[in-house]
Amino acid sequence: MKKSFIAACLLAGIFFADTLKAQQATWIWYPGDFEIWLANKMQNRRTERGAFFPPFWRLDNHYVLMDFHKVFDLPAAEEVTLYTEGEYNVKLDSKMLPGRPAKVTIPAGRHKLNIKVYSLDKVPAIYVKGKTVVSDSSWKVTYEDKEWIDATGMVSSQSGTQWLSAGYWHFNDPMSPPSQFRLSVEPQGPARTERKGQSMTVDFGKETFGFIKLHGLKGQGAVSIYYGESLEEAQSTTTCETLDHLEISAAAARDSVMPLSKAFRYVHLRYDKGVHIDSVSMLYEYLPVARCGSFRCSDEEINRIWDVSAYTLHLNTREFFIDGIKRDRWIWSGDAYQSFLMNYYLFFDSPSVTRTLMALRGKDPVSSHINTIMDYTFYWFLGIYDYYLYTGNETFIRQFYPRMQSLINFCLQRRNSNGLLEGLPGDWVFIDWADGLSKQGEVSFEQLLFCRSLETMALCANIAEDTQGAAKYRQLAAGLRTKIFDYYWDEDKQALVHSRINGQPTPYVTRYANMFSIFFNYLNEAQKQGVKEHVLLNDSVQQITTPYMRFYELEALCAMGEQDYVRKAIKDYWGGMLRLGATSFWEKYDPKEKGAEHYAMYGRPFGRSLCHAWGASPVYLLGKYYLGVRPTSPGYATYLAEPVLGGLQWMEGDVPTPDGNIHVYCSTQQIRIKADAGRGTLRFKSRSKPVCKGAAIEDKGNGVYEMQVAQGKLYEVSYRL
Amino acid sequence: MKKSFIAACLLAGIFFADTLKAQQATWIWYPGDFEIWLANKMQNRRTERGAFFPPFWRLDNHYVLMDFHKVFDLPAAEEVTLYTEGEYNVKLDSKMLPGRPAKVTIPAGRHKLNIKVYSLDKVPAIYVKGKTVVSDSSWKVTYEDKEWIDATGMVSSQSGTQWLSAGYWHFNDPMSPPSQFRLSVEPQGPARTERKGQSMTVDFGKETFGFIKLHGLKGQGAVSIYYGESLEEAQSTTTCETLDHLEISAAAARDSVMPLSKAFRYVHLRYDKGVHIDSVSMLYEYLPVARCGSFRCSDEEINRIWDVSAYTLHLNTREFFIDGIKRDRWIWSGDAYQSFLMNYYLFFDSPSVTRTLMALRGKDPVSSHINTIMDYTFYWFLGIYDYYLYTGNETFIRQFYPRMQSLINFCLQRRNSNGLLEGLPGDWVFIDWADGLSKQGEVSFEQLLFCRSLETMALCANIAEDTQGAAKYRQLAAGLRTKIFDYYWDEDKQALVHSRINGQPTPYVTRYANMFSIFFNYLNEAQKQGVKEHVLLNDSVQQITTPYMRFYELEALCAMGEQDYVRKAIKDYWGGMLRLGATSFWEKYDPKEKGAEHYAMYGRPFGRSLCHAWGASPVYLLGKYYLGVRPTSPGYATYLAEPVLGGLQWMEGDVPTPDGNIHVYCSTQQIRIKADAGRGTLRFKSRSKPVCKGAAIEDKGNGVYEMQVAQGKLYEVSYRL
């Protein structure tokens, strides 16, 4: 499906127009700048036992000086009100107005309005509101207008400046500028509070995130708050990962909210004798996004897994898609890539995807892989590929194409003499947390992701109308793909081997490259079956113990029609966490571990994150491979719905698209589908001839049937599984 | 001389060790970051009639997250106190300490101390003070430490990170961090105040800069302050360039200081009937740098010109070397380049040079020429060339070599198919403010500066130990130099022609390329004489009307021994401004203009700056070509003193060097020289055999004599001019 999507894009050029919200005034800025600024705020909020714990890669910054402009053609003069974040000036038809005008009258006719803003500590931004003149994404922005004047005062006519369309989000209130952005909060009480002398243990009933609030705090002395995702962690005052220490000196009782929001299910408080605390509650902090996707089925355990997955994803969907709410609270490209995919089946919140992509990419020059990790650079490209497929938004791709070019150039320049990538000083070859996994030499998995990134560049080059670039990237991708099979495919093993060292293939087979090559559609049918049998379903190949890579392993199996196997695997693995009391899904789960072993990682007893975005993949797998809905052209203009019960008796759910939902119900005898938008193809297997009132069903042979789905209409198909 | 300097550097590798101030704790940061931050502050302070007037090129920003470290080997444990600008954490031997420690004890032995700082609105900086452990330029800094950990918590051993030596200035007090930096101020009264009804005109006696202070201000109503470099400007309330409007509502009298410092000699106040003002004074604002250089001679007009030049330069030597104090108050590379050279003969304040170079360069990627001007990119390279020659500081060059490379690459990528540079969209080809000067095609002047820039790159590549780069740049420079003479040298005209258009030389001759080719030493003796006669001393070649280009015109003549001619030209041109009442030297002076015509520029009646750094060149010319002192190897390790009276009866002065002054006295019969440091060669002409007690004088033929000058010793030479 993805292959035909590329082909469609490259050949037919079927792209969607950008949707601009006209006439709605909104705060605007240079695209990517607010996102980079906000990411700095967020990623520098991590603490470890009270110590500030920032990232170890380069953090970029916004452009401090920005020019905004738009040309208006007005039937009548119009007074507009201006709001800015930063020092500013205003030019009307290139002539600077005196002072700092709060209102400007634009005369009737064709006129150009420029607003130039300088701001160091927040992103230069403007909000303009008149009767028809408003700030929105149709304004142009640049960080260098190059408007020099000659000795007579004439402005240079050919500046060579690149203007981009303004960036925006949802700041439609002039009094709530971007710099004031905060996530939403909601007061919530604990499930249980247990007091014992000068200590208190509070259980909020499930994994959560927010600001701890102490009620009726008074007296004199110290209070310590120890946070725990597990009870063990909260009570381990010397080894829990996060904490607050405060000194109280208050005669009158007052409520006190902690300054930093944190992840926890439990908090354990210890306080001096002179201190009194009435009770403890929290302000739950969250990004208000709607759950448009849904899933229900005949298996209650699967339903519970879907619910906990959705909750896990929501907790990690914040200013950006982060890895985990306790730790690292950073934006990791490999983690975010999975959140993007899950998001398309739960929130379909596109701004969260682009915010995250922009924050990850930062600015030029490229001095390191994204997050320093080679694979994570490639996931960034893959994220763009999928973003375009799911949303159809071209503006983002056109505007960020130069940053895509510089990042891929960074990779191309690091190729060795064989044209392959291997870890150079400063490159973290991550792949997965797996014991003894070799990162030496030319790892096949990295070449595979690199190849897909080059294909993405070819796609984006076409959108950006860089014909030469498109040809170049297409050729590089094709060449690399040939090499991958020449160098790594082992006919005896029926698998891609893990790596080459000193030009020689190693004898080891791991799951990584093999499972990706399936859903990248790089294998022929015989190779696919070979990989399935000799790798995916072969227990002697090192097992995966992170939900991170289980995501892809199970996706590969689903892509080969193994939904029944995958359903059992989900119940076993995610169900395994639930049976251990999980209320959100974990960074790592190894069924062989016991008790508090489950909480340890990185050499620390509570290092492991118990609420990790990559734990939420069932949301994606159930939507894409059970309800079976996925786009076949950008933005769901066309899509496939291929429901597969995989052993369930029935299932029902919604898959969101840019223009509404696709609702699917499927039992062993009936399929119902209704879509708000797009042109769909319903595909299913049936042992008898299916029937649908008012629709023609095509027999594709081998018991496979297809039916076209128009928007807005409910189809009921009778069939027999 | 410069040629032999290059040769010496390239061949012999005679470089000076860096001077580090050990044991003196000082605030440190990432080199260039404070400078870029401060430049943003300064360059966004320009106003035009109350409107904010920022630059039109890209402004960069500091890195917001910084890691500082140093390895110490301590005989005994030591407690150190930490100060930071920004949120921070501390690691001792790669292990993070809990919380935000204000003091850290480093045990005896070898230990590594890391401090990581995040700050958005000011530059991440630290100040560390212990008994022996202090923050200074021996610390290493990076914006990406890439210290990732594996699943066991082990830190990556090979990060590939580039560490630079920390940047610093003079912030030696922990309580005065870099973000608090302000220029010095000093109260000064007016020379004359004239009141008339509700207005007041205040004359401060000479061009000055600072904050206007209103004394005994009270009442109700509006006050307007109109600033003027001329009386006419201050009194032209509708066209003066800068102003302040304030609204007063104060029953009790108080003093009020204007928020923004400005340039003026006069201020004109108008205020409402309800407002009372006792008097007006100012806070003179300045950079406290000592005038180490001096000059006195038998011609009182020349002395006055030197004094006003020195004052003009000092007024424009602020946070950075700026173009003019009224306007633009920005850092322009072409203007700054001249200030650098003047500075070596007045303040010898190296930090002002490097601050300015760093601010001009900003950060990668290069998206434009410096200040958008092609020539100004090249002056930046020339500034580095001279900086190294005068100061001998290699650390700066080594640390900024990557930014030199990216800037020269930007230029190399913009060459046309002939390998020459012409203005592309976005390139301002400036050269000079001169009526009708063509900027079309391949301008010879630009190729000449480009060639010198490539030579500078070859020099710096050697210092940075980039052998391949050195060879490449040397070859590129040699090739370009050959082309310049093949393409532009006109044997009939005995000159380089101005440009080529469509591959054909144009017939026009201008002074620019020709005068630079003299002091770049690109001409043979015959060509030099040809250029002197046919261009420099030829009134039919378009005259120069800016002090900017007069700088180079007169330098070329001095370099050819025309000090007598130049003395008269200085008296004529700079003396001309003095006779018009100038108290500082101007942006432009055309003797043919009359009255207030002298104040107009850019289509505005008071657009011209009357205090422009490039007006101060006599300070340079008199020091370098009359006292005749200039370095012949980096940092004045060796130097030449070649006093030339040029028609004066006597002269006397000091030329500063990194390690003290060189004092020269010269009359027609006696030369005295005493140098604090360096090995000097005194060269002079004498019509009789000269004598100096305790020194051997070498007869070089043609009446030229040379004598070696050791440091610390006074030499008195009797001779006859």
pLDDT per residue as tens digits for the range B74-115: 999 999 999 999 999 999 999 999 999 999 999 999 999 999
Q: Helices marked H in A329-443 — which ranges?
A: 333-344, 350-361, 374-391, 395-413
Residue type, A694: G
pLDDT of residue A148: 83
CB pair distance less than 8 Å for A368 and B99? no
d(CA B102, CA B435): 62
Q: Look over chain B and give the mean of its residue pLDDT values, rounded to a whole number.
A: 95
Greater confidence (A308 vs A13) lies with A308
pLDDT at position B3 over 50 = no
DSSP assignment of A116-176, as one string?
A: EEE-SSS--EEEEE-SS-B-STTSEEES-----B-TTSPBPS---PPPEEPB--S---TTS
In chain B, CATH 2.60.420.10 sits at 634-718
CB-nearest partner of A160 from B50, B364, B426: B426
In this predicted structure, what is the pLDDT of residue A146? 87
Find which of B69, B247, B372 to mutate to test the A interface (most A CBs within 10 Å of its CB). Answer: B372
Using alpha carbons, list the distances in angstroms from residue A370 to A36, A343, A362, A427, B403: 14, 21, 9, 10, 22
Q: Which of A229-243, A458-472, B159-173 has the lowest mean pLDDT?
A: B159-173
Mean pLDDT for A412-430 is 95
For chain B, how are helix, strand and coil distributed in percent, rounded to 5?
Answer: 30, 30, 40
Fold observed for domain A22-180: Jelly Rolls (2.60.120)
Segment A93-108 mean pLDDT: 95
- A469-508 per-position pLDDT tens digit: 999 999 999 999 999 999 999 999 999 999 999 999 999 9
> Using CA atoms, how far apart are residues A65 and A145, in angstroms rounded to an integer?
10
Q: How much of chain B, in percent, has pLDDT values that exceed 90?
A: 93
Quickly list H helices, B560-625: 563-579, 618-621
Write down the pLDDT at residue A23: 72
Determine the topology of domain B19-180 in CATH. Jelly Rolls (2.60.120)
pLDDT in tens, B522-560: 999 999 999 999 999 999 999 998 999 999 999 999 999
Q: Are A65 and B54 a contacting pair at CB < 8 A? A: yes
Give the pLDDT mean for A24-35.
97
Q: Do A159 and B426 touch (CB under 8 A)?
A: yes
Give the pLDDT band of residue B158 (cuts 50, 70, 90).
low
CB-CB: which of B51, B153, B603 is closest to A89?
A: B51
Predicted pLDDT at B394: 96
Where do the CATH 1.50.10.10 domains begin and end in chain A? 294-624
The pLDDT confidence band at residue A7, using thresholds 50, 70 and 90, is very low
Give the whole-number percent of chain A exceeding pLDDT 70. 97
Please determine, for residue B160, whether its predicted confidence score (pLDDT) is greater than 80.
Answer: no
Q: What is the pLDDT of residues A664-699, one digit of tens each?
A: 999 999 999 999 999 999 999 999 999 999 999 999
Tell me which chain B residue has its CA closest to the CA of residue A64.
B59
Residues of chain A with CATH 2.60.120.260: 22-180, 184-286
pLDDT of B154 = 75
What confidence score (pLDDT) does residue A227 get?
98
Q: Does A21 have pLDDT greater than 90?
A: no
Q: Which helix (H) or strand (E) holds B463?
A: helix B444-463
Of the two residues A513 and B2, the one the predictor is more confident about is A513
CB contact under 8 A, B44 and A364: no
* Greater pLDDT, B29 or A157: B29
CB pairs under 8 A between A and B: 185
Q: For residue range A86-100, what is the model confidence (pLDDT) as tens digits?
A: 999 999 999 999 999
Query: What whole-number distance in Å separates Cα of residue B422 and Cα of residue A4?
Result: 46
ipTM here: 0.93
- Mean pLDDT for A630-649 is 98
Q: Is the pLDDT of residue B18 over 70?
A: no
Token couple for B405: 């490379």
**Separation in Å, CA of B439 to nearest CA in chain A:** 12
Facing residue for B364 by CB, picked from A37, A365, A607? A365
Model confidence band, residue B153 (pLDDT cutoffs 50, 70, 90) = confident
B446 min Cα distance to partner chain A (Å):
18
Cα–Cα distance, A228 to A235 (Å, whole number): 8
Tell me what pLDDT residue A154 has: 76
Residue A34 pLDDT > 90: yes
Question: Which chain A residues are closer than 8 Å to B55 by Cβ?
Answer: 65
Q: Which residue of A has its CA nearest to B90?
A: A51
Per-residue pLDDT tens for B589-605? 999 999 999 999 999 99
Residue from the list A57, A154, A604 with its beta carbon closest to the beta carbon of B153: A604
The top-level CATH class assigned to A294-624 is mainly alpha
- Asked whether residue A216 carries a pLDDT value surpassing 60, the answer given is yes
pLDDT tens digits along B237-284 = 999 999 999 999 999 999 999 999 999 999 999 999 999 999 999 999
Degrees to nearest 5, angle at CA B437 with B433 and B438: 135
Could you tell me whether strands A192-196 and A199-228 are parallel, antiparallel, or unpaired per DSSP bridges? Answer: antiparallel
Q: Provide the pLDDT confidence category of residue A158 given band limits of 50, 70 and 90.
A: low
Take residue A672 and report the two structure tokens written for it: 């119902």
Which pLDDT belongs to residue B147?
82
Residue A257 has pLDDT above 70, yes or no: yes
Instruction: Please give the DSSP secondary-structure letter assigned to residue B11.
Output: I
In chain B, the residue whose alpha carbon lies closest to the alpha carbon of A99 is B51
Give A44's contacts in chain B (Cβ within 8 Å): 65, 87, 118
Q: Which residues of B touch A98 (CB under 8 A)?
A: 49-51
| A25 to A22, A132, B715: CA distances (angstroms) | 8, 9, 78
Q: Chain A contacts of B65, Cβ < 8 Å?
A: 40, 44, 54-55, 58-59
Q: Out of A57, A61, A99, whose CB is closest to B50?
A: A99
Helices (H), A392-443: 395-413
* Chain B residues whose beta carbon lies within 8 Å of the beta carbon of residue A159: 425-426
Q: Tokens in use for A200?
A: 């208190």
| Integer angstrom CA distances of residue B58 from A116, A228, B219 | 12, 47, 44
Q: How many other C-beta atoms lie within 10 A of the C-beta of residue B226? A: 26
* pLDDT above 80 (res B300): yes
Burial environment of residue B77 by CB neighbours within 10 A (0 to 12, 13 to 18, 19 or more)? exposed
The 10s digit of each residue's pLDDT in B559-575 is: 999 999 999 999 999 99
Contacts of A174 (CB under 8 A, 6+ apart): A25, A27, A81, A83, A127, A129
B158, closest residue in chain A (CA to CA): A425
Residues A31-70, buried b or exposed e (16+ Cβ, 10 A)?
A: bbbbbbbbbbebbbbbbbbbbbbbbbbbbbbbbbbbbbbb
Pure H helices in A623-710: none
Q: Which fold has domain B634-718?
A: Maltose phosphorylase, domain 3 (2.60.420)
- Residue B5 pLDDT level (bands cut at 50, 70, 90): very low
Can you state the angle between helices B350-361 and B374-391, rounded to 10 degrees? 150
Determine whether the interchain pair A54/B161 forms a contact, defined as Cβ–Cβ distance below 8 Å: no
Handedness of CA A577, A582, A588, A594 (dihedral sign): negative
Residue B120: pLDDT band by 50, 70, 90 thresholds?
very high
How much is the mean pLDDT over chain A? Answer: 95
Q: For position A6, what pLDDT does the model report?
A: 38
Using 50, 70 and 90 to split pLDDT, how confident is the model at A639? very high
Closest residue of B to A148, CA-based? B56
Supply φ then ψ for residue B410, to 5 degrees. Answer: -55, -45
The domain over range A628-718 is classified in CATH as 2.40.30.10: no
SS3 B342: helix
CATH class of A184-286: mainly beta
Structure tokens at A23: 């006439």
The residue of chain B with its CA nearest to that of A372 is B146
Dihedral pair phi/psi, residue B137, rounded to 5°: -75, 0
Q: Give per-residue pLDDT as tens, A511-550.
A: 999 999 999 999 999 999 999 999 999 999 999 989 999 9
